Amino acid sequence: MTENARDIRFDVPLYTVAEAARGLGVPPTTLARWGKGYEVRVAGRRPVKGAPIVTMRSGAPREPVVPFVGLAEAMVLAAIRSAGVPLQRVRPALELLKTEIGLEHALASKKLYTDGAEVLFDYARSTSDEGGGGTVSDLVVVRSGQRVFAQVIIDYLSRITYGRDGYAQVIRLPGFEHADVVADPRRSFGQPIFTHGGARVSDVLDRFWAGERLEDLADEFGVPAVEIEDVLRAASRRAA
C-alpha cells in the first residue's frame, strides 16, 4: 500500500456528490460525470465514452463517495471548464500532465501550479489544439517571457494550501463574497467550516433555519454576521 493510500485525503470518502457539488457551486450531474465517466449511444454509431477525471469511490446513492483529493481535483477542473475548454480536450492534456509531472492526482498537486503551465503550453503547440475558443492554449498566457496560467486558473489554484507532500491539504471554497469557508480533512471530517470560529457551516445554517437570530449565532459561534449572511445567500442560490 502506498503512503497516499493510507492518507485520509486520498482513501476516505468524505462527501456525497451533492455535498461536493454544493461546496464547489457545480451541478451534481456534472460532478457525477467527472467522477464516473459517461457513455453516449447513438443509433448506428459507435458509443462515445469519456473516462473519469475526478477521483470518486463507488457507493450507494447519497453515500459519501468523494474523497478530499477528488474535491480538490473537481475545483481545479471547474476552473478549467470556466475557461471554456471542453472535456474532450482536457482529458488528453491531463494524461500528458500525469506523464510529464510524473504523479497521480495532478490536478491536486502543487506541481500543477509550478510546472503545469509550461507543460500545457508545449502540449497546445505540439497538437492541433488551436483555432476557435475552447482550447487548452486558452489556459496559459505568456507574461514577462514566462508561461503562466490564465487568471481564472490562478484564482482557483490560489485557493489551495498544499501539504508537505505537495498535495492539496486545505481548500478555501469558492462562491462567497465575504465568508472565508474552508474544507480541511483534519477538521470536522472535511466538512466546510468557517475560518473565523471554526464552526461547521451546516451547523450554523441549520440553527438559522430553525429560527435562531443571526446576531445570536454570530455571538455564539464567533462568526461575523456578514459571513453568515454571505453563506445564506450562496446556499439560497445553489438551492434554486
Residues 99 and 38 grouped into a single domain: yes
Residues 186 and 128 grouped into a single domain: no
Output the pLDDT for position 238.
72
**What stretches of 29-74 adopt beta strand conformation (E)?**
38-40, 48-50, 66-67
Residues 57 and 143 grouped into a single domain: yes
Residues 199 and 170 grouped into a single domain: no
Q: Does residue 142 come out as left (phi exceeding 0), alpha (psi in the -120 to 50 range) or beta?
A: beta
Residues 130 and 17 grouped into a single domain: yes
SS3 of the chain: helix, strand, coil, percent, to 5: 50, 15, 35
Burial of 148 (0-12, 13-18, 19+ CB in 10 A): middle
Query: Helix, strand, or coil here: 54?
Result: coil
Query: Helix, strand, or coil here: 166?
Result: coil
Residues 185 and 237 grouped into a single domain: yes
Structural domains counted in the chain = 2
Output the pLDDT for position 148.
86
Burial of 147 (0-12, 13-18, 19+ CB in 10 A): middle
Residues 155 and 189 grouped into a single domain: no
Residue from 51, 63, 62 nearest 12 by CA:
63
d(CA 28, CA 73): 15
Query: Residue 227 sits in a domain of what CATH number?
Result: 1.10.10
Final residue of a structural domain among 149, 174, 199: 174
Q: Is the pTM of this model over 0.95?
A: no
Average pLDDT rounded to a whole number, residues 111-140: 75
pLDDT in tens, 175-199: 899 999 999 999 999 999 999 999 9
Residues 170 and 183 grouped into a single domain: no
Q: What are phi and psi of 149, to 5 degrees?
A: -70, 150
Final residue of a structural domain among 159, 174, 189: 174
Output the pLDDT for position 1.
38
Residues 16 and 129 grouped into a single domain: yes
The CA angle 176-152-70, to the nearest 5 degrees, is 70
DSSP 96-120: HHIIIIISS-GGGBHHHHHHHHHHH
d(CA 236, CA 97): 37
pLDDT in tens, 133-174: 567 778 888 887 778 888 889 999 999 999 999 999 999 999
Output the pLDDT for position 122.
80
Residues 33 and 103 grouped into a single domain: yes
Residues 54 and 79 grouped into a single domain: yes
Task: Identify the domain containing residue 188 by its residue range.
Answer: 175-240
Cβ count within 10 A of residue 117: 21
Q: For a pLDDT cut of 90, what percent of the chain falls above it?
A: 55
d(CA 27, CA 185): 23
Residues 88 and 41 grouped into a single domain: yes
C-alpha cell at 92: 488528453
Final residue of a structural domain among 117, 139, 174: 174
